[in-house]
Amino acid sequence: MKSFKELLSEKKDHLIKKNKNLSDEEKDILIAHFKKYPHLENQINWNNKKLTFDDFSGVLLSTSKRQKKKALKDKGIGGLKEGEDYINIRLRTKGYLAYAPLNYEASKSIATKHIGQCEGKWCVAYQKSRSYWQHYVYQDWNKNGSSIFVYIIGDGTKWAMDIHKNTFDLWDVADEKIMNDGKVIDDGYHMDSDGNMVSNLPDEAVLKEIMTKKRLFDDIKQYKVDKKIDFIEKAVTKDADYGSKLVGMAIPGTKIIQSDDVWFTGEWIKGTWHSGSFKGYKSIWHNGIWLGGTFEFGTWKNGTWKYGEWNPKRYNIIWENGTWEGGYWYGGIWENGIWEGGWFGGGTWKNGDWYDGRWNFGVWEYGEWSDGIFEDGEWKDGIWHGGKFTGGKWQNGRWEDGEFGGSKSVNKPVWKDGVFHGGIFKNAIWKGGIWRGGRWFNSEWLGGYDKKGRYHEEGDSPDKWDHGSIELLKKKRIKS
């Protein structure tokens, strides 16, 4: 008789086999995977009759990551695949190793203490987010072209070499920049714990040797281009027209320039966008994951934005819904969605939930703000839960907590109307509204109501009410 466990396994096999959305090869992969890792079956909603292979990616990827972490811990660089995860740059200079990571996971791995006995603190190997890796490796981040990174190990430490065009920058293990465009910053020395002056730099011969690897850079360049082309070909699109333009990185010692993908017209239905320019004026992004690049024209319907630039060139472009995790917003219309972090540099916010980030300028019409910094612009209405409002005009809304106010300069933020429930009000101007509670510092009161509906004229202020040092000049009941 078959065990209960075997019967359960058979049931899942049966569901996989009869799924018409899966190819025979995909079915074989999933059946073998769940046979090896049956405890992962409960992570799938088996009641969903429309499961696709993408719905299983989470359980497949999590297992793969665990296996790689164990291999890295046990084998060091041997836990990664040469040619797939990294390129080994074989040096003539003894005592040094050099690896060029080909993906974000490899970048993180080579930076760990499992390879080289110390940990590189570089942002492109940041353990929690791939955004810096995408920014440097796939985008024209500094107008010098996207980067190729080489991690150097030797003398008990590590360096990160950022190669762009025909020059390079160098960072030490603590992510301090010690060379810029191939030139040493300061004198290249620091004082150790014993008070001795020691060099921050690797052997000069190592750097020169790496910069002569023209063929290697060609290989990495082609690998990156193939990756970019790959994401376009595998995406689900409709009536798509895309091409390429010559921008990006010039390969040292060659006349080759890395191309960058450009989307001209059509509809992006779903998929993962790694980098490039989305330019179609009438194009529509329906759903998917955006990892990096520039969105210049079109309409964003839904999806997840990880990093990149939202940068309208001539017309207002529209974000209808979705989740923004990080990057730079330079203008356009935000209709709804969730903002988790990043920089907002202009445009109109109509509605949505702001959790954290930096608001530089723009018009906020309505929504809920949880945390972050509002530097300048116009707040028309909404609910403020926390954070700092350091500049601009507050027209109306409900303030629950946080800090309203800026420096002692002449450009003080102005509160025109709304309800202030609590928090800090400092170095700012109050022109109207209801004060229900909070802390008042060095600000100007031009008139408004207290929580009992009594009106206070110009010159009065909440700090004086607290101490009872002034009679109420005027009383008015708020109309219901």
> 75 in a domain, yes or no?
no
Residues 190 and 294 in one domain: no
Residues 165 and 255 in one domain: no
344 pLDDT more than 60 = yes
Q: How far apart are alpha carbons 464 and 479 in whole angstroms?
A: 25
Residues 306 and 270 in one domain: yes
Q: How far apart are alpha carbons 403 and 396 in whole angstroms?
A: 16
The H-or-E segment that residue 354 falls in is strand 353-354
Overall average pLDDT of the 148-166 stretch? 91
> 330 in a domain, yes or no?
yes
Q: Which pLDDT score is estimated for 477?
A: 38
397 pLDDT more than 60 = yes
The CA radius of gyration of the chain, in Å to the nearest whole number, is 28
Q: Which pLDDT score is estimated for 231?
A: 52
Q: How far apart are alpha carbons 346 and 331 in whole angstroms?
A: 5
Residues 247 and 203 in one domain: no
Residues 266 and 147 in one domain: no
> 63 in a domain, yes or no?
no
Residues 298 and 402 in one domain: yes
Domain boundary among 166, 197, 212: 212
Residue 412 · residue 427 · CB < 8 Å: yes
Residues 243 and 127 in one domain: no
Residues 206 and 133 in one domain: yes
Q: What is the pTM of this model?
A: 0.57
> 447 in a domain, yes or no?
yes
> Comparing 66-70, 328-332, 396-400, which segment has the lowest mean pLDDT?
66-70
The tally of domains found in the chain comes to 3
| Sheet strands (E) in 111-259 | 148-154, 157-164, 167-172, 177-180, 183-184, 189-191, 197-199, 236-245
Residue 201 one-letter amino acid: L
- Write out pLDDT tens, residues 100-141: 998 888 999 999 998 988 999 998 887 666 767 867 776 554
DSSP string of 381-447, one letter each residue: S-EE-SSEE-SSEE-S-EE-SSEE---SSS---EE-SSEE-SSEEES-EE-SSEE-S-EEES-EE-S
Residues 11 and 104 in one domain: no
Q: How far apart are alpha carbons 57 and 315 in whole angstroms?
A: 37
- Give 3-state DSSP helix, strand, coil % of the chain, rounded to 5: 25, 30, 45
322 pLDDT more than 70 = yes
> 81 in a domain, yes or no?
no
Residues 194 and 247 in one domain: no
- Write out pLDDT tens, residues 427-474: 999 999 999 999 999 999 999 999 999 999 998 999 988 544 334 444
> 290 in a domain, yes or no?
yes
> 59 in a domain, yes or no?
no
Average predicted confidence (pLDDT) for the chain: 81
> 254 in a domain, yes or no?
yes
Residues 334 and 400 in one domain: yes
Residues 308 and 378 in one domain: yes
Q: Which domain holds residue 319?
A: 239-467
The H-or-E segment that residue 96 falls in is strand 96-101
Alpha helix (H) residue ranges in 175-317: 204-211, 214-234
Overall average pLDDT of the 265-281 stretch? 82
Q: How far apart are alpha carbons 359 and 334 in whole angstroms?
A: 13
